[in-house]
């Protein structure tokens, strides 16, 4: 029996970016998009073009850089949103406008303050308008899982008549239950007269931990597109995880009536890249991409795996890319090998000066640690690639002292607007002392919400990757830093967050979307 193709729609760059502090720069979005293209993702939702100038430029840059995937931009139902999306998508070889409006009674009454008739009229007008600008239009019924069935039938039938060729049924607040949600999808597809003219899609949030289960239930009931993110990234509890959806369909090919065209060996490298760029670490017990996903502690499990892998492993680690992260470079590696490996990781340097700087930093790192892994290179490039905004604060050096029985202290040297500055402070530990010294120089007024440390690879000489989350006047940013010295990495992360706050690079979504 020939299986249907399941369209993988990745929204890491749009919905994933709505995680507090997860905003990405244009170049970072392009790097991730190129990896998604290499993976074989069908549709990449690159952003919300009208949300900000930065978001528009990011969608446009992704549209210019990617040729193997359809590039999508989100838009509300207003003509200005749709025009902006169409303009950003103009360079795309294959583009899609994704327009949406809320359809649940609570959203229509309290958020939109519109009658159901007004909502249908607005949705139909938006789809018709978008179809005049682009051939591929997707329409989403925001909060579909809490919408009235008869109203869903009415609005979906009319937007399909208007030209929508993908109908998305978001479980916007993670309210759905797999049996109920899948049955809703099947019932709509069987009831709406023109349902055969569109692909039905699902976009599930993970508030109750059911995003993947709801998505897979919908697939079993006829949905042929799933919207998801790398590492399950997204606002609140996140979205359905791409890696879990793809591997569930592949591993249980005996029951799922669909197939995916994704190159699963790119899953782990892409997961690592997204984690490095966003500063959101992957929990060790995360399915597929967690560090413990293929680890066996129990003696019984170890014995079984040694005798026959399938006793306790339903997937091979190398099938999702774990083998791709072996030792690749060392201190004797040359510039050509370094550049070639970066390109394999989806990292392209624009000019010789950028390559020279990156290679110098690589050699410095190789002097500190004997083994250089892909994860080290990704962290290195996140640190050295030129920013799209002017950075006020730059790390120069530090001295930290911590003795039992004495108050830890740190002396920090920075440049601020090109001028050398130095301060020292005491704290509850060397990191606290270093942060206080930085604040003596910058007086940011920011509040520290999160401080997180993760080892990038194994061994005591591993680079430490630090995530710092700062909040100031309602704006939340994540700063990232990496170094073999964890205190240096911490200061780098703190300065990265301060630079983001100072530059005001975060976009402000006028409406969060589906």
Q: Alpha helix locations (H) across 132-265?
A: 149-162, 178-191, 211-220, 242-251
- CA dihedral angle for residue 370, residue 380, residue 468, residue 35, rounded to 10 degrees: -120
Residue 298 CB burial class (10 angstroms; 0-12, 13-18, ≥19): exposed
Task: Give me the pLDDT at residue 211, please.
Answer: 98
CB distance 432 to 465 below 8 Å = no
Report the phi/psi class of residue 107: left, alpha or beta, with left for phi > 0 and alpha for psi in -120 to 50: alpha
Closest C-alpha to 96, from 36, 143, 42: 42
Task: Give me the pLDDT at residue 307, please.
Answer: 58
Buried b (16+ CB within 10 A) or exposed e, 231-255: bbbbbeebbbbbbbbbbbbbeeeee
Architecture, CATH, for domain 393-503: 2-Layer Sandwich (3.30)
> Helix (H) and strand (E) counts for the chain?
16, 16
Task: Give me the pLDDT at residue 233, please.
Answer: 96
Task: Give me the pLDDT at residue 301, please.
Answer: 44
**What does residue 392 show for φ and ψ, rounded to 5 degrees?**
-80, -35
**What does residue 451 show for φ and ψ, rounded to 5 degrees?**
-135, 120
Run of H or E including 444: none
Architecture, CATH, for domain 4-278: Alpha-Beta Barrel (3.20)
Compute the distance between CA of residue 118 and CA of residue 97 in angstroms, rounded to an integer: 21
Domain boundaries, the chain: 4-278, 326-384, 393-503
Handedness of CA 11, 16, 17, 18 (dihedral sign): positive
Cα–chain-centroid distance for residue 396? Answer: 31
Compute the distance between CA of residue 103 and CA of residue 226 in angstroms, rounded to an integer: 20
Compute the distance between CA of residue 501 and CA of residue 497 in angstroms, rounded to an integer: 6
Per-residue pLDDT of the chain (514 residues; tens, 9 = 90+): 789 999 999 999 999 988 766 778 888 899 999 999 999 999 999 999 999 898 999 999 999 999 999 999 999 999 999 999 999 999 999 999 999 999 999 999 999 999 999 999 999 999 999 999 999 999 999 999 999 999 999 999 999 999 999 999 999 999 999 999 999 999 999 999 999 999 999 999 999 999 999 999 999 999 999 999 999 999 899 999 999 999 999 999 999 999 999 999 999 989 988 988 887 888 889 999 987 887 644 454 445 545 545 665 678 888 888 764 454 577 777 888 888 888 777 677 777 887 888 888 888 888 877 677 777 787 777 666 655 667 899 999 999 999 998 999 999 999 999 999 999 999 999 999 999 999 999 999 999 998 988 877 666 667 888 989 999 988 888 888 888 899 999 999 999 999 988 887 555 444 567 8
Task: Render pLDDT for 177-199 as a digit per residue (tens, 0 to 9).
Answer: 999 999 999 999 999 999 999 99
Compute the distance between CA of residue 40 and CA of residue 302 in angstroms, rounded to an integer: 34
Run of H or E including 336: helix 335-344
CA angle 215, 220, 224 (to 5 degrees): 70
Q: CB neighbours (10 Å) of residue 286?
A: 18
Compute the distance between CA of residue 483 and CA of residue 466 in angstroms, rounded to an integer: 9
Closest C-alpha to 274, from 9, 17, 8, 7: 17
Task: Give me the pLDDT at residue 313, please.
Answer: 66
Task: Give me the pLDDT at residue 387, please.
Answer: 59
Q: CB neighbours (10 Å) of residue 115?
A: 11
Task: Give me the pLDDT at residue 309, please.
Answer: 55
Report the phi/psi class of residue 73: left, alpha or beta, with left for phi > 0 and alpha for psi in -120 to 50: beta
Task: Give me the pLDDT at residue 378, please.
Answer: 74
Q: Give 106-155 as a DSSP string.
A: HIIIIII---HHHHHHHHHHHHHHHHTT-S-EEEEEETGGGS-HHHHHHH
């Amino acid at each position: 029996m020939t299986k249907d193709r399941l369209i993988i729609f990745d929204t890491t760059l749009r919905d994933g970016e709505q995680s507090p502090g997860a905003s990405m720069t244009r170049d970072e979005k392009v790097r991730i998009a190129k990896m998604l293209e290499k993976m074989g993702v069908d549709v990449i939702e690159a952003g919300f073009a009208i949300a900000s100038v930065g978001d528009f430029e990011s969608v446009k840059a992704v549209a210019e850089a990617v040729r193997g995937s359809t590039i999508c931009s989100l838009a509300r139902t207003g003509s200005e949103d749709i025009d902006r999306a169409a303009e950003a998508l103009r360079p795309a070889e294959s583009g899609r406008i994704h327009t949406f409006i809320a359809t649940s009674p609570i959203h229509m009454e309290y958020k939109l303050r519109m009658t159901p008739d007004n909502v249908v009229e607005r949705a139909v007008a938006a789809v018709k308008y978008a179809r005049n600008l682009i051939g591929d239009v997707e329409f989403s019924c925001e909060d579909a899982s809490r919408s009235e069935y008869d109203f869903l039938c009415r609005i979906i039938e009319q937007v399909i008549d208007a030209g929508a060729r993908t109908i998305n049924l978001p479980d916007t607040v993670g309210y759905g239950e797999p049996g109920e949600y899948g049955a809703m999808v099947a019932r709509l597809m069987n009831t709406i007269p023109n349902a055969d003219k569109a692909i039905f899609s699902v976009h599930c949030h993970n508030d109750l931990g059911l995003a993947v289960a709801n998505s897979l239930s919908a697939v079993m009931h006829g949905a042929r597109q799933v919207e998801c993110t790398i590492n399950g990234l997204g606002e609140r509890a996140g979205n359905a995880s791409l890696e879990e959806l793809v591997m569930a369909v592949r591993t249980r090919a005996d029951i799922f009536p669909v197939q995916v065209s994704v190159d699963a060996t790119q899953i782990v490298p892409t997961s690592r890249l997204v984690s490095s760029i966003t500063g959101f670490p992957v929990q060790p017990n995360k399915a597929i991409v967690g560090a413990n996903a293929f680890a066996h502690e129990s003696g019984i499990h170890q014995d079984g795996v040694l005798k026959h892998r399938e006793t306790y492993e339903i997937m091979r680690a190398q099938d999702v890319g774990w083998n791709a992260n072996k030792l690749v470079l060392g201190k004797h590696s040359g510039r050509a090998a370094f550049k070639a490996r970066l390109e394999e990781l989806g990292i392209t340097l624009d000019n010789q000066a950028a390559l020279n700087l990156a290679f110098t930093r690589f050699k410095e790192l190789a002097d500190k640690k004997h083994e250089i892994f892909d994860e080290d290179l990704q962290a290195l490039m996140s640190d050295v690639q030129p920013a799209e905004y002017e950075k006020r604060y730059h790390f120069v050096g530090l001295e930290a002292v911590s003795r039992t029985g004495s108050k830890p202290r740190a002396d920090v040297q920075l440049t601020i607007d090109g001028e050398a500055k130095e301060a020292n402070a005491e704290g509850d530990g060397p990191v606290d002392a270093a942060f206080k010294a930085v604040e003596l120089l910058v007086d940011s007024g920011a509040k520290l919400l999160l401080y997180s440390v993760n080892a990038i690879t194994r061994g005591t000489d591993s680079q430490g990757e630090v995530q710092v989350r700062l909040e100031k006047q309602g704006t939340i940013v994540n700063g990232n830093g990496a170094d073999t010295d964890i205190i240096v990495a911490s200061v780098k992360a703190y300065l990265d967050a301060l630079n983001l706050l100072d530059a005001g690079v975060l976009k402000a979504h006028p409406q969060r979307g589906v």
